Amino acid sequence: MKNKFILDNSKYIESCNCEDRPNNTVVDSIIIHCISLPENEYDNDNVINLFTNTLDINLHNSFKELKNIRVSSHLFIRRHGDLIQFVPLDKKAWHAGKSKYMNRENFNDFSIGIEMEGSVNDCYTDKQYFTLKNTIDAIKKLFPSIQDSNILGHSDIAPGRKMDPGKYFLWEKIK
């Protein structure tokens, strides 16, 4: 049977970096991130490999710190707007890390993580914003508790530790 928590317009690449959410969790937040490996280089599949534990850490010096790291996001939006999904939306992906905002902690438990292919030093593409807006609309249909005020940046929930999606991310494009 079709899994409604895997979005229709995504390419699904299963990641085992996920787990069940705590019992009775209401998913009410979306966290926006950015990632590129190496930073600012987009023409490769290193992020996909990172999220599926197949990244060759010898490819670049900056990958050394990623050794044995187990992370994932539900969704990844590439520069041309392609949507890749790694974790069904009802499961918990490992994108937020230690997190706190408005007296709530452990955002992985009740949020959906979306990675924009990019970096905090770079603008995002119109195609990415188009896919992101459509994706958020589809997610809201599945999880009606998600309000615009609960669509946050990683930098909002991990200030001082994380800067993504960065100052070039245009929030008005998605609200």
**Active site positions, annotated:** 115
> Judged by CB under 5 A, does residue 164 bind Zn ion?
yes
**β pairing state of 104-105 and 29-35:** unpaired
Which residues 6-65 are close enough to bind Zn ion by CB under 5 A?
A: 33
User: Which residues does residue 89 pair with via DSSP β-bridges, in sequence order?
Assistant: none
What mask, x for binding Zn ion by CB under 5 A, covers residues 97 to 136?
----------------------------------------
| Smallest gap from residue 95 Cβ to Zn ion (A) | 6
| Smallest gap from residue 104 Cβ to Zn ion (A) | 17
> Judged by CB under 5 A, does residue 154 bind Zn ion?
yes
Q: Which stretch binds Zn ion (CB under 5 A): 13-21, 73-81, 98-106, 149-157?
A: 149-157
Pairwise CA distance, residues 88 & 148, whole Å: 21
| Smallest gap from residue 131 Cβ to Zn ion (A) | 18
| Smallest gap from residue 113 Cβ to Zn ion (A) | 8
Pairwise CA distance, residues 134 & 17, whole Å: 25
Pairwise CA distance, residues 148 & 67, whole Å: 35
Pairwise CA distance, residues 5 & 56, whole Å: 30
Are 147 and 17 in contact by the 8 Å Cβ rule? The answer is: no
C-beta of 4 vs 161, nearer to Zn ion: 161
C-beta of 33 vs 92, nearer to Zn ion: 33
Distance, C-alpha 90 to centroid of its chain: 14
**β pairing state of 75-77 and 83-85:** antiparallel
> What is the contact surface with Zn ion in residues (CB under 5 A)?
33, 154, 164
